[in-house]
Structure 1
């Protein structure tokens, strides 16, 4: 994820909120190994998608923090993975008797009161949910980039994709800086969501997540507009990595925690490794 796209190497000019954004010429990947992408932050050592997990990933010098984008009832974009909130918060205790416990069923004021850390360990009982704006502010002046996943939860359709694009478009200074440093990308399991985002912000690298091995027909179709193919590591082999690269796209694999699997994926030449334990790759 060190460049906007292998297909789009060279100078790329885009307009964002009336500002001209010039992307510098890209160069071959330095021989430093794949990007280290902290899955939901450093989620093996801190409660996922919280400020604690994000801050730890930054201190461990992860190249990217991967987050999950959902929208509250009153339109705030928040960092949360599951389609319902019972697993990692005290939402049932705080709001008993609600018919549903989806992010989209609550206002940000309601969600900001949740304990999002005790499920992981009592030391994190004060951890709260964070908004996407807070994540951006946390990462802006660090070396760590942002890989934002558009939630596939069914209630949103493609609206979270366009909301995220609009939110990033409203931060031209951050986007310009992050793109210049190759430290911003967006991904989704839903091709429609990814394309909706790409339509609004085509200069931000967009990736397609896949739990299954994509077919060559799918790869050919996606290569016309996508920048990344991000499959589960268990379906990834040398032939897939080479084919994705020949089609001009990057490949980031998930979720790779076992040291042997990390070594195997790195040996295949993948561009990024999404892991719960970034410290195992950065040694920090």
Structure 2
């Protein structure tokens, strides 16, 4: 596990080591009918069978070691050898999509100091220019002072530069009518909706079934995921418009995972399960034994070591 003050040096060494061992998560395929390097099969076959372990997703980047949802966090995940990063998308007052988890800026920026009279500091109450002025790194550590809340477009460009893959969450869509179409527009403009990205490098997810359904309706070729743990009896309804069910790890069992795998998703392939948030080795091995296809984690190095040995 990383010691945060030495994160950059440790990350460089670990990333080099993982490269030598081939221990990245690049074996994951997300396409509706393709697996990395083969063009056939499903993500489940690739993630669990090819190397014997679930795909590891760096939640908000390598967020145990760098400020979440920042470019520093995804850069660190890349240096550590992890292809897949997860992020959250919300919208500013003037209609710009930004990458941040909470619907308030208070926890992860210095907004209370810069704008003391603007409580409760909601993302939707600030312009993109105002948000760009905020420090989104100092709360985590002095070495990250000056990190910013990235726009979605800037974030996509960095993920592309890093040759990473993206698990994109549309956050609280009920606050932002039309955010699904807008997110797809930004993805298109950034070059993320071509055949290769859609087949292997992008998954769109949400806690809102309606939002996932909208994305599927607008772009039926995209891989989508619903965040939650529907009852087994309700799973077929979700299979009509999504490819994955991504639950909190405390809410699942091996039988539930098997029930998801027993259904064909929106693209006619076996549905998959990517569970969250798992940050310790014991829990990682536990959900691996349940048969999950992916693990979403703040500490991807810890989880990868536990489930894959790389």
Q: Say yes or no: TM over 0.5.
A: yes
Conservation of the 8 A alpha-carbon contact between 2:280 and 2:303: no
Is 1:41 equivalent to 2:61 in the alignment?
A: yes
Moved over 3 A (4+): 23-28, 171-175, 281-284
Taking the aligned partners of 2:31 and 2:299, their CA distance within structure 1 comes to 26
Cα distance in 2 for partners of 1:38, 1:192 equals 25
Residue aligning to 1:191: 209
| Deviation of the 1:31 alpha carbon | 2.3
TM-score by length of 2: 0.80
Unaligned runs of 5+ in 1: 11-22
Instruction: Decide which of 65, 71, 86 is 1:66's aligned counterpart.
Output: 86
Please list, as runs of the form range in 1=range in 2, the aligned pairs for 1:135-154 lying within 5 A after superposition. 135-152=155-172, 154=174
SS of equivalent to 1:129: coil
* Greater mean deviation of Cα atoms: 257-266 or 146-155: 146-155
- Give distance in 2, aligned partners of 1:218 and 1:52: 39
Deviation digits for residues 130-175 of structure 1 (CA, Å, limit 9, x no counterpart): 1111121112144421000001164214x22221122223334664
Looking at both structures, which has the greater relative contact order when contacts are Cα pairs under 8 Å and sequence separation is at least 6? 1
1:209 corresponds in structure 2 to: 227
1:189-229 Cα offsets, whole Å, 9 max, x none, are 0111111111111111110001xx31123211001121110
Give the distance between the partners of 1:207 and 1:233, measured in 2 at CA: 15
Give the corresponding residue for 2:251: 235
Q: Label 1:240 to 1:149 Cα distance change in 2 as closer, same or farther (>3 A).
A: same
CA RMSD of aligned residues (A): 2.0
Matches within 5 A, 1:69-218: 69-152=89-172, 154-157=174-177, 159-172=178-191, 175-180=194-199, 182-210=200-228, 213-218=229-234
**CA shift at 1:261, angstroms?**
0.3
Q: Note the alpha carbon deviations across 1:71-111, whole angstroms, 9 max, x for none.
A: 11122111000011111111111112115411111111110
DSSP-derived class of the 1:192 partner: helix
Q: Structure 2: where are the runs of 5+ without partners? A: 1-27, 264-269
Relative to total residues, which structure has the larger helix share, 1 or 2?
Answer: 2
Q: Structure 1 residue 224 and structure 2 residue 244: aligned? A: no
Map of 2:266 onto structure 1: none
Which structure features the higher share of strand residues? Answer: 1
Q: Is the 8 A contact 1:3 1:26 kept in 2?
A: no
Identify the residue that residue 29 of structure 2 maps to in structure 1. Answer: 2
Q: Is the 8 A contact 2:212 2:241 kept in 1?
A: no
Shift of 1:61: 1.8
Q: TM-score when scaled to structure 1?
A: 0.87
Q: 1:208 to 1:84 in 2, by over 3 A?
A: same
Tell me: CA distance 1:257–1:161, structure 2 relative to 1, closer, same or farther (3 Å).
Answer: same
Q: Any conservation in 1 of the 2:157–2:190 contact (CA below 8 Å)?
A: no
